[in-house]
Structure 1
Amino acid sequence: MMTYPDFVKEVLGVKHDHVREDSPAYTELVIPRGSLDAMLGVMDRFFGGPAKAEGQKPSPEQKHMTLRHGGIRPDQILYVRNDAADSALAMFWPWSSGELITVKIFRDPRPEAQTEPAETQAPVRRPFLRFPRLFGGK
């Protein structure tokens, strides 16, 4: 299974226009439309497939979990991962020009999966709420 740091390294290795932010809990970059297939391949390897594909209507839970980050529309792509190591979310925002796409990746590592002492870790933003029903929980 791919680790989150390896995933981000692969994401940043895909041809992109520019990186807006790259921190332990949040990565944002802009890619040209021509890099979309390569970026989706990286996403599929880490997330296991999109939670919401482009053109699909978002569920109420997907709308709620993304609200703090601008929400999710039918023309956007959403990936979600919630396992023993990480809760992570990736959102693809196509630009109105159709030529560029903003990719936003949020991470909320599980405390039990952290290997560094807490005092040496970068601060982690709580980027989104967890939704047990969406991930097969109770």
Structure 2
Amino acid sequence: MKTPRSTLGHTKGRIAEDQALFFLQSNGLRLIERNYRCRYGEIDLIMEDGRAIVFVEVRYRGSIRFGGALESVDRRKQAKLLASAANFLREKRMDRPARFDVAALAPEDGGLAVKWVKDAFQAA
């Protein structure tokens, strides 16, 4: 029996998210929350870097045929992340510096390579 495409995509996404989390933790960040959901959208990883709250969008691309992982975080996605982050900060009553990072993953040498872009975009 074949695995449905959506289940396979979810599995790959979860593996990429696990890899990104491990990578970021090994670079000194601490996990606050994973897969935060609200009416504005979802934030893959919410982490702490010193005093800063870091909202991390994890993107996996098996191929660059339709554009790379970094390019997929377009203005529309950024707007959803900004609204979700503002909701999180209000909900948790946090008044701390925040930034938006992207962890872009792609297959490399039988594993996954992580490209970490700190402060990938700003609130307008």
Compute the TM-score of the two structures, normalised by the length of structure 2: 0.32
Specify which structure has the higher proportion of strand. Answer: 2
**TM-score by structure 1 length?**
0.30
